[in-house]
Chains A and B, each alone.
Chain A
């Protein structure tokens, strides 16, 4: 009887895993099949600047550029902010407050992205408009700032856990050697937690790439590179905002639809690549603690 239950349990666990893996595989295949028409008919012209479906032009460079700029801004802000907050909550803050502070920060992750978008439209974009004396506050920069707040909890929580998982004995030994608290964090704990911090950042990167709603509302949605190209205080477009705005307007199986799906495939591939990277980086570094 026990053997049977064991077998059934094993079967159940295996199938669950297989189904999840299969769904990912299926999504990839569907994206590939549906974007094939764009790849075969448009080909290298996909990598151009002009997007105009009425003329049959489907250049995705400005969307790709917008996606990377917005994600870059978000990460540049959120990485230092997030890791330092995590160091504070796990190493400096008294442990009885840790739970309260951490769960409050985690609440940030629970706020629906449309709410972030509305805050972005109603306040953030207006503030930036006045602050930088812009024509419009709907810019790549605004979207990046908004996104940095949205990915902050991912970085904080995972980094905090990384620090918290380090056994007490490392801290005690370091203290026994007469190190200051700052030295313990810098020389002992950060090197140990490094691999986990790296995966936290990659996970946040993936989330930033894929965020749609909030970005769509504040980014300005114009398919054009800023001029000059590094002027991030001008409107732009990301892949997700483009998809969000335009996918429903395209007819199924048209080249237009296919080109949109191609952008989805690109996004999927980037995230997939990052995930594999994150997996490998945490596998390679041997953990110092058991």
Chain B
């Protein structure tokens, strides 16, 4: 019986403590926007210790859907919201706010990059994803089959990439060998392979994951540099969005204002993206 009382007291304690609910902002969505928001949330909490900010990943599609279902205060989205999504949630007033700019870069394994394939035309990339070019040999590289890495259908990076390369954000990639999710997962797979091609946000490039320059129809070769994103020369750029239902209010508004402030924009820059008003 004594045990039962202890248990009961314990339960009551839990209930009482959990009743004292802290104010919280729920955020989820694109893994491209995630690095900015998670750093910003930490910084923002330093001056607002009472406020909880819960940040989750999942992809742009998750950001839109969960906002539509009322599970989130802010959705992170790295692409435009589709007309289908707007039609799906008629009672939601999606209000996107751009917090930065980014490029989606076709990336390849450093092994291939170092053999001299440093730029491709959009048409060549499309052919690879369609399965019409299957070996790096055909592009002047080593005799290695191309490991084509695609992304989950509702990911923002894929929408933007497919829109530019195929002219259709839902284009099917019949040549794909793997379908992965977050930027992290894609990055790992490209590092692990010596003949892979994939698509990544500009901020995720490194020595093992090389960003391809794009050969334009005019013959000009445009590399994925911050400069080329700022002046809109690089063909596959996008805005990084945070989306709210209606105009933001209260602590959500305060957080968004922080993101748009000089301090917040510094975080955007430090994360490898481009600030908005540049």
A positions within 8 Å CB-CB of B = 52-55, 121, 125-126, 129, 135-138, 220-223, 235, 237, 245-246, 248-252, 254
Contact at B65–A250, with CB atoms within 8 Å?
yes
Contact at B177–A220, with CB atoms within 8 Å?
yes
- Min CB–CB distance B202 → chain A (angstroms): 23
B262 part of interface (Cβ distance < 8 Å): no
- Min CB–CB distance B144 → chain A (angstroms): 9
B180 part of interface (Cβ distance < 8 Å): yes
In the complex, what residue of chain B is closest to A137 when comparing beta carbons? Answer: B192
Task: Report which of B89, B147, B192 forms a contact with A251, defined as CB distance below 8 A.
Answer: B89
Task: Report which of A52, A126, A248 forms a contact with B58, defined as CB distance below 8 A.
Answer: A248
| A126 contacts across to B, CB distance below 8 A | 192
With A220-B177, A252-B69 already in contact, the answer to whether A135 and B192 are too (CB < 8 A) is no
Task: Report which of A138, A249, A252 forms a contact with B153, defined as CB distance below 8 A.
Answer: A249
B152 part of interface (Cβ distance < 8 Å): yes
Q: A136-B196, A220-B177, A220-B179 are in contact. List 19 more A-B contacts (CB 8 A).
A: A52-B172, A126-B192, A129-B192, A135-B195, A136-B147, A222-B150, A222-B178, A222-B179, A223-B179, A235-B177, A235-B178, A237-B179, A245-B181, A249-B58, A249-B65, A249-B152, A249-B154, A250-B65, A251-B88
With A220-B179, A222-B176 already in contact, the answer to whether A136 and B193 are too (CB < 8 A) is yes
- Min CB–CB distance A217 → chain B (angstroms): 8
B positions within 8 Å CB-CB of A = 58-59, 61-62, 65-66, 68-69, 85, 88-89, 145, 147, 150, 152-154, 170, 172, 176-181, 188-189, 192-193, 195-196
Task: Report the Cα distance A245→B153, complex, angstroms.
Answer: 10
With A54-B170, A254-B88 already in contact, the answer to whether A135 and B62 are too (CB < 8 A) is no
Contact at B65–A54, with CB atoms within 8 Å?
no
In the complex, what residue of chain A is closest to B144 when comparing beta carbons? Answer: A135
In the complex, what residue of chain A is closest to B169 when comparing beta carbons? Answer: A54
With A52-B172, A129-B192, A249-B65 already in contact, the answer to whether A135 and B145 are too (CB < 8 A) is yes
Task: Report the Cα distance A197→B196, complex, angstroms.
Answer: 45
Task: Report the Cα distance A184→B188, complex, angstroms.
Answer: 52
Task: Report which of A136, A237, A246, A250 forms a contact with B189, defined as CB distance below 8 A.
Answer: A136
Contact at A138–B69, with CB atoms within 8 Å?
no
In the complex, what residue of chain B is closest to A50 when comparing beta carbons? Answer: B172
Task: Report the Cα distance A248→B72, complex, angstroms.
Answer: 13
| A235 contacts across to B, CB distance below 8 A | 177-178
- Min CB–CB distance A120 → chain B (angstroms): 12
Task: Report which of B62, B89, B177 forms a contact with A222, defined as CB distance below 8 A.
Answer: B177
Task: Report the Cα distance A222→B58, complex, angstroms.
Answer: 18
In the complex, what residue of chain A is closest to B176 when comparing beta carbons? Answer: A222
Task: Report the Cα distance A259→B17, complex, angstroms.
Answer: 41
| B154 contacts across to A, CB distance below 8 A | 249
Pick the 7 closest A-B CB pairs, nearest first. A249-B61, A54-B170, A249-B154, A221-B179, A135-B147, A248-B62, A222-B179
- Min CB–CB distance B32 → chain A (angstroms): 15
Contact at B192–A248, with CB atoms within 8 Å?
no
| A220 contacts across to B, CB distance below 8 A | 177-179
| A254 contacts across to B, CB distance below 8 A | 88
12 contacts between A and B (CB under 8 A): A55-B170, A129-B193, A135-B147, A135-B177, A135-B195, A136-B177, A220-B177, A220-B178, A248-B59, A249-B58, A249-B153, A254-B88
| A136 contacts across to B, CB distance below 8 A | 147, 177-178, 189, 192-193, 196
Task: Report which of B66, B68, B170, B180 forms a contact with A248, defined as CB distance below 8 A.
Answer: B66
